[in-house]
Structure 1
Amino acid sequence: MRDAVTVYPFTSHAVVHAGVARVTLSGELDLDTAPMVHNAVADCLAERPTTLCFDLTDISFCDCAGLGSLLTARLTILGEGVDLVVEGIGSQLRRLLSLIGAEDLFTPKAAETDLGRARWASAGVASHRAAETEAALPTRPGTF
């Protein structure tokens, strides 16, 4: 019966090319679809990229389970030493991140290198390095 209430079905698309992985998510990211985020990220990381780009432009809805899958994916990506780039955070996801005090985890920040600035700034993209963002991770016992 879940499909009867899903307005925007969830889809994920993952591709790796020349060391850059791109995971495009769209639709409703919730308890039912959250595991697909892990699968897409795992498939990309198996290809050993240097950068992984999350395109969240078309996420129409995200609940706590969906948010948890994004945060877990972020930790996994950065833990592998892969740069994380995030594009297109909509107002609903931005508000959810803000409510838990995590808005800086997926928002645009200056790239660490001149190459990074040139590569990502014109596209309005954020680049986060594992070492730089590890201090900003939630440190509650029993999480992630």
Structure 2
Amino acid sequence: MTSPFSTSTEPAATGPVLTVRGELDVATAPRLRARIAELTVTAGQLLVVDLADVTFCDSSGISALIAARNVAEAAKAKVALVAVPARLTRTLTLTGLADFFPTYATAGDAIAAHA
């Protein structure tokens, strides 16, 4: 059974918190990229990407996460991934991308570390 894809954004004192739900794959990654492009991230802020409810992530999904990092860097901001599922953590580690994404257990932890 597939999980429906969705995103939502909440403001935080340090910048936007983008929550991603469902399967992040070749069919849904363009929607995530479009959502990321709509975000307002300014210098010094932190873009938090909450992956707690991501049920699957393929290479297209990882590419969309890299796009989030690129958007943050272009704005002279930072990005953090939170609640990264174990399988995705393993993939990020094996590909060497774990070094590019600070990860935290919760959005609160990421925000506190950035403050």
Q: What TM-score range do you get, normalising by the shorter chain?
A: 0.7 to 0.9
Aligned-partner Cα distance in 2 for 1:122–1:71? 19
Structure 1: runs of 5+ lacking an equivalent: 1-5, 110-120, 129-144
1:111-135 deviation per Cα after TM superposition (whole angstroms, max 9, x unaligned): xxxxxxxxxx99433868xxxxxxx
Q: In structure 1, what is the equivalent of residue 69 of structure 2?
A: 74
Aligned-partner Cα distance in 1 for 2:57–2:31? 13
* 1:14–1:21 Cα contact (<8 Å) kept: yes
Task: Answer yes or no: is 1:85 the counterpart of 2:73.
Answer: no
1:15 Cα deviation from its structure 2 partner: 3.4
Q: In structure 1, what is the equivalent of residue 31 of structure 2?
A: 36
Aligned-partner Cα distance in 1 for 2:109–2:14? 20
Of all paired residues, the percent bearing the same amino acid is 28
> In proportion to residue count, which structure has more strand?
2
* 1:23–1:53 Cα contact (<8 Å) kept: yes
Match of 2:84, SS state, is: coil
Task: Give the alignment's TM-score, normalised by structure 1.
Answer: 0.65
Relative to structure 1, the CA distance from residue 84 to residue 122 in structure 2 (aligned partners, 3 Å threshold; closer, same or farther) is: closer
Which of 58, 61, 68 is matched with 1:63 structurally? 58
Q: Which has the larger radius of gyration?
A: 1
Task: Answer yes or no: is 1:125 the counterpart of 2:110.
Answer: yes
The AA in structure 1 aligned to 2:64 is S
Tell me: higher relative CO, structure 1 or 2? Use CA pairs within 8 A at least 6 residues apart. Answer: 2
Aligned-partner Cα distance in 1 for 2:35–2:71? 12
Aligned pairs, number: 112
1:54-73 deviation per Cα after TM superposition (whole angstroms, max 9, x unaligned): 11111111001111111122
**Which region of structure 1 is more displaced relative to structure 2, 21-30 or 82-91?**
82-91
Task: Answer yes or no: is 1:94 the counterpart of 2:89.
Answer: yes
* 1:52–1:84 Cα contact (<8 Å) kept: yes
Structure 2: runs of 5+ lacking an equivalent: none
